[in-house]
Amino acid sequence: MYFRFAIKNVKKSFRDYMIYFLTLAFSICLFYSFNSFQAQQAVMDLSKSQNEIIVSIQDLMQMLSMFVAVILGFLIIYANNFLIKRRKKELGLYTLLGMPKRHISRVLIYETFMIGLLSLIAGLLAGLFLSQLLTIVTANLFEATLNYTFIFSMDATRLTIIAFALIFFIIMIFNTFTLNRYQLIDLLTADKKNETLKTKNIYLSILLFLLSLVILGYTYWFALSQGIDALMQLHIIAPAGIIGTVLFFMALSGFLLKFVQSSKKLYYRKLNMFVLRQVNASINSNFISMSVVCIMLLFSIGALATGTNLNRTINSTIQLLTPFDYSYASYQFMDKESDYIMDITDIKEKLHIDSTDIKEEYYIHDYFSDITFAQFMSYIDDSFIPDDQSEEKFDVIPLSDMNIVREAYGLEPLTLDPGEAFMFTSNEMVRNTVDDIVANQPNFTLYGHSLQLRREQPEMVNLGTTVNTSTVVIGVCVADEIIPADATLYNMFWNVNLNEGVDQDQFAEMVTSKRDEYNKNASMTESPIYSSFSSATAKDVQDNSKGLSVIMTYIGLYLGLIFLLASAVILALQQLSQAADNKQRYQILNKIGAEKRMISQSVLFQLSIYFFMPLLLAIIHSIVGIQVVNAIVVVFGKSAIFLSSLITGGIIILIYGAYFLFTYFGYRHILEK
């Protein structure tokens, strides 16, 4: 009997359950989709390293899903709490008619079970189709061949069912506890209890508002001034931003109404007087939740924009990192005496490497300068104050070697006039610094030669293929004859282009194996070779770069969508709950002659203020936050924030806008009932 009663309740109130149901289904869809990556391996032709990256993504998503499950759990309990509050009078009537609370609890448990089961089925079905789309996106990001067949992940299904079954079980306990806590009089008079407008001191509110602007302004300035070190100052930036945001909304409710009242034309236009008092009362009682929504929207915008931006940034640097098929580099630290062989011009002969695999090979030399960077900068500005890093020496590259590298990038050969030098970098972070130095055309002395920098903005080049972000921070290219025979070798690259069909990974493994064997068999009188070395293939760099971009993209999407969903749901449920509480007020408007169209416009105006006020402040926060993140993202290459901002804006309009529209039509439906 109680089960049939619960079925009738769900059918009768399905429109009221719609946002709750959609939230559950969408949460389950995302949860399943972002935990189904391992099943994608079966339909993509991936290399060994790419398969390892997919496994890493799967493991990372499962760990991340524990955090996401907690967020969704609180969100669903929050949504359920609003539904219970809306049904207080109905539950009170059941009690008045003699139904024991344990039976009412049973009805609520049945209703929760049915809604949970329906949303679980709908969410899993939607997740199945979304996971197919993610498979195509993953294959595209990896540039892998897709042998498409419909994929299904039993592990993701099992994890989703367990996580949400636990959440629904907690909701059932929560509903029972909530019902037992309320007295009958509280249930029957719930619809007569409205928000109380607590008047705040206008001067105190203005003072707090100005204080919030000062705190936020200082936080913005401090974050931007820190640049790449901003992450190390989060213990200052985050609390200051949160305090400023809370004070902003708390103070806003204290003077917003008074401020608008000063404009009689605006205040008395249509139903603005009614709407503004509604909004003011809502902000007054919910300024904490609005602050939380604003901060979650900031996280959402930041995660979405950074994830998509970092993907494009990393992919755009692959060509810069891979001028050759394979590079082997021997190197030493600054001013360190070498007790091993640095010169690797005879590496092929010593290791007995078969030349049939090699199409082209080049040796690139990178020398220490004989002056420090601080001494170099003193030629530009006598007042230059060196820091710890400025005492280091910079790289010097022979012109002939530089032209080999430039040819690999398809650039024109470089020519230098007598007494001329050319400064360059392969690090995006210092590119502006190099441009500023070059613009001054300083004269300086290097290896006893008086030189002047050419006033030309250099192209970004690496001396070899590398898995690092760069091979040269600041380098100076000079004519070969300027570099003395006894110049200290800092780095040397053996760059190789392989014949078609030769596997890069196998070639790299062969070289490393022969090097280890040589060092093992070396006599006591012979120095081991290249004990400090690095090697990389273009394929390794491409796989690692694409793998990192895929991971960052999916982390950004996953967290960004979850925070966006949570923000929209909190605002939607608050407004729908208030719609039920404010029905009598709208009935009075109708009785005194307010047209239906005017009432609908007032609802739209009220929801627009309530939804877009925290979004607007979150966008302002995110503009500063994204600038700070870009200072860090530039480590991976040149940032392209404009397109990622458009993508982020599209996602917000789609999801946040959809919840806004659902709330508007749901609000109108409640009033019409």
The pLDDT of residue 267 is 63
- Better-scored residue on pLDDT, 266 or 243: 243
Is residue 504 helix, strand or coil?
helix
pLDDT tens profile 76-92: 777 777 667 666 666 66
Of 142-146, 222-226, 244-248, the one with minimum mean pLDDT is 142-146
- Better-scored residue on pLDDT, 642 or 132: 132
- Better-scored residue on pLDDT, 93 or 541: 541
The pLDDT of residue 454 is 84
CB atoms within 10 A of CB 587: 11
What mean pLDDT do residues 547-564 have?
A: 85
The pLDDT of residue 336 is 45
The pLDDT of residue 325 is 92
The pLDDT of residue 384 is 47
Q: Is the confidence at residue 521, as pLDDT, over 80?
A: no
CA angle centred on 220, ends 280 and 282, rounded to 5°: 10
Task: Confirm if 310 and 257 have CB atoms less than 8 A apart.
Answer: no
The pLDDT of residue 487 is 86
For the chain, how many residues are written?
673
- Better-scored residue on pLDDT, 522 or 163: 163
Q: Which of the four pLDDT bands, split at 50, 70 and 90, describes residue 6? A: low
The pLDDT of residue 385 is 47
The pLDDT of residue 14 is 65
What mean pLDDT do residues 550-559 have?
A: 84
Of 49-63, 477-491, 524-538, the one with minimum mean pLDDT is 524-538
The pLDDT of residue 610 is 84
Q: Which of the four pLDDT bands, split at 50, 70 and 90, describes residue 633? A: low
Q: Which of the four pLDDT bands, split at 50, 70 and 90, describes residue 17? A: low
Q: Is the confidence at residue 448, as pLDDT, over 90?
A: no
Sheet of 449-453: strands edge to edge?
443-446, 449-453, 420-424, 475-478, 393-398, 358-372, 489-498, 326-331, 533-537
The pLDDT of residue 2 is 62
Q: Is the confidence at residue 109, as pLDDT, over 80?
A: no
Task: Confirm if 409 and 495 have CB atoms less than 8 A apart.
Answer: no
Distance of alpha carbon 106 from alpha carbon 119, whole angstroms: 20
What mean pLDDT do residues 564-585 have?
A: 80
pLDDT tens profile 213-225: 999 999 988 888 8
The pLDDT of residue 632 is 66
Q: Which of 106-115, 144-153, 164-173 is most confident?
A: 164-173
Mean pLDDT of the chain: 79
What mean pLDDT do residues 340-362 have?
A: 80
Share of the chain above pLDDT 70, in %: 79
**How far are the Cα atoms of 309, 324, 551 from residue 636, in angstroms, in the given order?**
11, 19, 14
What mean pLDDT do residues 471-475 have?
A: 86
- Better-scored residue on pLDDT, 378 or 573: 573
Q: Is the confidence at residue 387, as pLDDT, over 70?
A: no
- Better-scored residue on pLDDT, 172 or 335: 172
- Better-scored residue on pLDDT, 291 or 633: 291
Q: Which of 43-57, 372-386, 526-540 is most confident?
A: 43-57
The pLDDT of residue 525 is 46
What mean pLDDT do residues 303-328 have?
A: 82
Contacts of 472 (CB under 8 A, 6+ apart): 366, 395, 397, 424, 425, 426, 427, 462, 463
Of 465-474, 605-614, 639-648, the one with minimum mean pLDDT is 639-648
Q: Which of 197-201, 210-214, 636-640 is most confident?
A: 210-214
Task: Confirm if 112 and 172 have CB atoms less than 8 A apart.
Answer: yes
Q: Is the pTM of the predicted complex or chain greater than 0.85?
A: no
Q: Got the DSSP string for 433-478?
A: HHHHHHHT--EEEETTEEEEE---PPPP--SS--SSS-S-SSEEEE
Of 349-363, 518-532, 540-554, the one with minimum mean pLDDT is 518-532
Q: Which of 157-161, 222-226, 304-308 is most confident?
A: 157-161
What mean pLDDT do residues 593-616 have?
A: 82
Distance of alpha carbon 248 from alpha carbon 211, whole angstroms: 8
pLDDT tens profile 639-652: 566 677 788 888 88
- Here the contacts of 651-659 (C-beta below 8 Å, separation 24 or greater) are 651/304, 651/560, 651/561, 651/564, 652/300, 652/301, 652/304, 652/564, 652/615, 655/561, 655/564, 655/565, 655/568, 656/564, 656/567, 656/568, 656/611, 656/615, 658/568, 659/19, 659/568, 659/569, 659/571, 659/572
Q: Is the confidence at residue 524, as pLDDT, over 50?
A: no
Q: Is the confidence at residue 455, as pLDDT, over 90?
A: no
Q: Which of the four pLDDT bands, split at 50, 70 and 90, describes residue 398? A: very high
CA angle centred on 607, ends 603 and 609, rounded to 5°: 120
Q: Got the DSSP string for 197-266?
A: -----HHHHHHHHHHHHHHHHHHHHHHHHHGGGGGGGHHHHHHHHHHHHHHHHHHHHHHHHHHHHT-HHH
Share of the chain above pLDDT 90, in %: 8
What mean pLDDT do residues 109-134 have?
A: 85
Of 115-124, 357-366, 633-642, the one with minimum mean pLDDT is 633-642
Tokens of 377: 């900068």
Task: Confirm if 325 and 497 have CB atoms less than 8 A apart.
Answer: yes
The pLDDT of residue 624 is 86
Tokens of 111: 């209703």
Q: Is the confidence at residue 670, as pLDDT, over 90?
A: no
Q: Which of the four pLDDT bands, split at 50, 70 and 90, describes residue 249? A: confident
Of 64-68, 249-253, 363-367, the one with minimum mean pLDDT is 249-253
The pLDDT of residue 262 is 62
Task: Confirm if 506 and 326 have CB atoms less than 8 A apart.
Answer: no
- Better-scored residue on pLDDT, 596 or 322: 322
The DSSP letter of residue 337 is: P
